[in-house]
Structures are given as C-alpha cells and as structure tokens.
Structure 1
Amino acid sequence: MSFLLSLSRFIDALNEKIGSLVSWALLISVLICTGNAVVRYAFNYSSNAWLEIQWYLFAAIFLLGASYTLKRNEHVRIDVVVGRFSKRTQVWIDIFGFLLFLLPMTLIILYYAVPYTWISIESQEVSSNAGGLIIWPAKLLIPAGFLLLTLQGVSELIKRIGFLQGRVPASAFEKQATTPEEEIEAIKAANKLN
C-alpha cells in the first residue's frame, strides 16, 4: 500500500502543477479575447486564428483542469444528500462512483480519442476556416485531459482505500476551498464593514 500511496502523491503533484499552469491559459484567453475585440472594433480587422486560439485555450482549461478539479474535490456532487452520511459511507459512495462511473467512462473516451487524435496528427489536419489554425494540437488535448483524469481517479481511489485502512486522513481528499457556510460568513462580515 505504501507504493500506491507514493503513486497517489505523485499523481496529485502532477495534476496540481498542471492545474496551476493551465490557470494561466485563462488569463491568456481573456487577453486575446480583449485584444481581438479592440482590434476588430477599432481597426475593423479580425482573423479566424485569433478566435480559434481562444477555443483551444478554453479546451485546455476544461480538459486539463478537470483532473485538478477532481483532486481538489471541487467537482459536481450531491453534497446535500451525501453530506448526511458518515465519512466512511461517503468514502464508500466515492469508491463505487470512481469504479462504476468515472474510470470506465474515462477509459472508454481514451479508447476512442487516441485513434481520433492520431488520424488528425497523421493528416496534419487544418481548420477549414480561412486563416484557421492546425487542429491536431487541440484534438491532442482530449486524450491528454482524459489520461490525467483517469490517473487522478486512480489516485482518489487509492486515497479512499487508504482512508478505510486507517492510513490516510480524510483531509487528504476533502474540499480544499471554503465551504458555502464559510463564504456566507465572509459575505456577512464584509457587509458589516460597509
């Protein structure tokens, strides 16, 4: 189990680093979008390449950021229902969710995405839009993102099993952001200052 926990820490660190890097793609996308709008309205000039690079950056944010979101336990959940159960029951629900839904789906998508992407790389696929970009780098994000999501799913599974064995604290996989209650309290405190 110690090897698996080391593997889990490696996967977590990898997705944490990628998540931090991908967050810069959002800033770059906003700057490109703003620059494109200014140039379009001020100089009546535009290029499909600028629009497509925004789509590529959005795809990178979404596909490469999904594993980071799962690692931080910020994915969509039904906390209203699950939150009423004991921590041990919540962990069992997570394990079944990872084994029955997350991992099979990511593996199926990987199975179909790899040849789909490979065909695009081999043919050096280019956008059909005038002045468009090459497409295969964007398509490469699909298997890369789902590979990272699969790895993070395995890491989360290892942590949950480690918790059941008493080797991993619950804090290793709990939400790392503020709770809704904490956010409400922060809003109330801010309103009192105004």
Structure 2
Amino acid sequence: MPDMIRRYVRAVDAVNAAIGRFAMLLIFALMGILLWSSISKAFFMPANWTLEMAQFTMVAYYILGGPWSLQAGEHVRMDLLYGALSDRAKAWMDSFTVLFLIAYLALLFYGGLSSTAYALKYGERSYSSWAPYMAPIKIVACIGIFLMLLQAFALLFKDVAKLRGEEL
C-alpha cells in the first residue's frame, strides 16, 4: 500500500483510540449526573436538567466511542457464516460490506450537517422545561459520525492490504 495510506490509517487509528479512551470516561460523568438526579429528588428540589444532560452524555459516550469499537473489532457482527470463513474470505466480505457502512455514514453525516446548520441558524432548543440549545450535541454527533466514516475508510484500506498480502 502507498505510504500516504499507511500514514492515514495510523493517524485515524491514533485519533480514534485517543477520543475513544476519553469517551470511555464519560460513563463516570453520566454516573455523577444520575447520582445528583437521585440525591436532588430525594433531598432537594428535583433538578430539571438531569434527564436531558444524562441523555446528551450518553449520546456523546456511544457516538464518540463508536469509531474506537469499530477499530478494535468490538462491534456486533452476524457470525452465522462469517466465523467459518478463512481470513482471506473474511477480508473480501469485510471490504464489500464496509462499502454499505460508508454509504450509510455519508448520508447520516450529510443529514447531521443539515440538522446542525438548522440548529445553529435558528437557535433550536429542546422542548423540555430546561430547554437547552441543541446545537452542541448535534455538533458532537457530527464529529462522531465523521470519525466513524474516517475509521470505515481505514478498515477498507486494511482489508484491501490484507487481500494484497500486506499488513497495515
């Protein structure tokens, strides 16, 4: 494989691993938010921001952690036939199916950018009593989808290299 593709794969893997490790820590933020929610409901006036903040934190957790799980091969896979395939056949299968993932992520990213632009332009807010702005979580979602798209291309390059008898 060309040196530029090797550098691309290394860079994308490094960025997604670092962001994935950060995203892994968001579970502790989520626990803190939910703990405060329980304490405030039991002893104080219930906080109206905790439910949505927990949802936003969970979205950031799985959207930003997704590319790392894809890189590590920890995503869900239908193993009915795949497990019985040889490594070369798996590389063929993966290089074919990742094209569907790339197409899906490209459309999702396009829609996410459109939704984010709308949220920024019109100051979109949630329809709750807290009514937070929606743009920040939509920006995080677009970043996560973009990183997943970059990781999908890196996986495609790795599979093509494997088919050529190389390792990236």
2:48 counterpart residue number:
48
1:11 counterpart residue number:
12
Q: Which one-letter code corresponds to 2:93 in the other structure?
A: I
* Alignment check: 8 A CA contact 2:23 2:62 kept: no
What pairs up with 1:38-187 in 2 under 5 angstroms? Answer: 38-43=39-44, 45-99=45-99, 101-168=100-167
Structure 1 residue 80: deviation in Å? 3.9
* Alignment check: 8 A CA contact 1:52 1:132 kept: no
Structure 1 residue 47: deviation in Å? 2.2
TM-score normalized by the length of structure 2: 0.94
SS in structure 2 opposite 1:88?
A: helix
* Alignment check: 8 A CA contact 1:12 1:152 kept: yes
* Alignment check: 8 A CA contact 1:120 1:135 kept: yes
Structure 1 residue 140: deviation in Å? 1.5
Distance in 1, matches of 2:48 and 2:97, equals 41
* Alignment check: 8 A CA contact 2:98 2:156 kept: yes
Q: Which one-letter code corresponds to 1:83 in the other structure?
A: G
* Alignment check: 8 A CA contact 1:48 1:132 kept: no
Distance in 1, matches of 2:134 and 2:142, equals 14
1:179 counterpart residue number:
none
Q: Which runs of 5+ in 1 are unaligned?
A: 173-194
Structure 1 residue 156: deviation in Å? 0.6
1:190 counterpart residue number:
none
* Alignment check: 8 A CA contact 1:18 1:64 kept: yes
Structure 1 residue 21: deviation in Å? 0.5
Supply the RMSD in Å over aligned alpha carbons: 1.3
* Alignment check: 8 A CA contact 1:29 1:54 kept: yes
1:22 counterpart residue number:
23
Q: Which one-letter code corresponds to 2:149 in the other structure?
A: T
Identity %: 26
SS in structure 2 opposite 1:36?
A: helix
Structure 1 residue 148: deviation in Å? 0.8
Structure 1 residue 144: deviation in Å? 1.3
Structure 1 residue 113: deviation in Å? 1.2
Q: Which runs of 5+ in 2 are unaligned?
A: none
